Structures are given as C-alpha cells and as structure tokens.
Amino acid sequence: MADLRIDYCGIEFKNPIVTASGTFGFGEEDGEYTELSEYGGFSAKGLTRTPRPGNRAPRIAETPSGILNSVGLQNPGVESFAAEIMPELAKLDTHVIANMSGNTVEEYCEMAEILSETDTAIIEMNISCPNVKHGGLAFGTDARTVLELTEAVKKHCKKPLVVKLSPNVTSVADIAKAAEAGGADGVSLINTLLGMKIDINTRRPILANNTGGLSGPAVMPVAVRMVHEVYEAVKIPIIGMGGVMSASDALEFMIAGARLVALGTGMFVKPDLIIDVKQGIAEYMDKNGIKKAVDIVGTLELN
C-alpha cells in the first residue's frame, strides 16, 4: 500500500494535498461535497489585520482555462478568525494553514503574534501585497524587501512560517532565496498571475478593479517551471500550486520539487477533486513501486 504521509516543516501531513488559500473560504462551503479530513491540510482564506469588505463587483471573470479574480481579500479580520473561526477548525481532523496579508511590516508582525497563539499548524505569509510605506510596490517583488520582511515577521512567529511567492517577478528563485535567508521555514508558489479581460462591447475591463489574478490550468506550466527553479535554489520545503486538475497534475508538481500540492480553482469545477487526486497518486505509486510519497519529490531528470 502506498504511504501518502509526508513531512512538511516538521509536521506530518496524512497526504500531500492541501487547499489553496482564497479558494475554499473557511471550509464550511465544501462540507456537503467532501469531508475536510480528506485533505492533508486546509489553507484558510487570506486574513488581514482588520476586517475588509473586499472589492466591488464584478470581481470574477471567466477566461479560457481559468478565471480572473479581484475579490480583494474580503475577510472578518485576524482577531475574529483567532477567536471565533479557528477554534472550530481545530476540531477537524486536518492541519490548518492560516494565510495572512499586510500593507506594512508592523501589520504582518502583529498578525503573526495573534495567529501563533492559535492551533493553526503553519502560518503562510502572502507577500503579493502593496507596501504602503514604500510607494505601494508589492512586498514580494524585491528580494531585499522580502528578506527584511521575513526576518522581522519570523521574530514574532511561533509557528512554521511559509512565504507565498508571486510569479509577477523577474526571478522567482532570487525571491525564494531571500525568504530562506530571512528565516522562512518554507515557501509556497505560485500566487496568481496578473491579468485583464475586456468587454469588447463596452470597451471596458470586465472586472470593476480592472485587473485581477489569473488562476486555473492556464497557469500550470508556468507554476511547474517556477517550482522546479525554486527547488534548485533553496533547501526549505515547497508547497506547489497553480491549475491542478488531476492526480497527474499534482504529480508534476511533486516531481518538480513540491512536498505539498494545493488544489484551488480546480475545486470550483469538481468540489470533490481531492478524492480523485489522492487515489491517482496512490495508484501511480503502486504502479511504479514507490512506497513513500516523499520519494516522488524532486525526482525530475532534465533532458
């Protein structure tokens, strides 16, 4: 029998499949389709220091092989999550990954302190957010900024800190190395690619916010390439994501170097996708004589 258990940041996950933050709310939406216990881990919706209503509609647009979203981090705030939502999630038979977004270093540090006092297993730091103290440029686009932010947050974080990387950069490997140098325990990638869709009749962007994040199968080849580059560049473990629709997709990420693989947009098409993905990975392992899931990770052989 294939052993799907896998270690990530010193935590044993029952299988390598987790949910991608922002695609799964706080878990209650998917309950009628599949049990959260099926997942190795559950990444909660992105949190901010104070509650946010999100962007105005329309904020979702379909594209070939994916969707654009500009939801705008709608959430109840980190304190509400810690006091009301996390205690309920802690009762579930799966690890919880809390995701946080900030506009200042201080906000990230405060959220890390609050989340560290909860039962969340891992804290994921989204660095694709505008740094309001430095002209609004996203934290995750500059290696020096990533190093300094990670160093600062790590001092306030009692849980493993995973830095979520943006693909909208010149060199994702350099950003990953900066996160590692700053003390990150792991990295996750990729976040969405920046895109736009236009209504040809009105000649205006469909999204009220003009641009949004592209996710779904269209981004997967980019994501797999970036996971491979980061695996070659750092020693800390990787969570890979971006367009996974099947077990073979998840296996590509693992072969490229990801220890955990996140399902996101694919669950909008097939809410119980986790069942097929887990079964497919187990069948692949049995067929190829692989006893432990970790033995798949980073086995890519280049031409």
The Cα 149–Cα 204 span in angstroms is 37
Chain centre to alpha carbon of residue 71: 16
Q: Cβ(227)–Cβ(264) under 8 Å?
A: no
Q: Among residues 143, 132, 37, 26, which one has the least CA distance to residue 74?
A: 26
Task: In whole angstroms, give the CA distance from residue 25 to residue 88.
Answer: 14
Which pairing describes strands 60-63 and 193-195: parallel, antiparallel, or unpaired? unpaired
Q: Provide the H-helix boundaries in the chain.
A: 78-80, 86-89, 105-116, 143-154, 172-181, 220-233, 247-256, 266-269, 273-287
- Which is the catalytic residue, given 9, 109, 129, 157? 129
Q: How far apart are CA 295 and CA 300, in angstroms?
A: 11
Catalytic residue list contains 129 = yes
Active site residues: 129
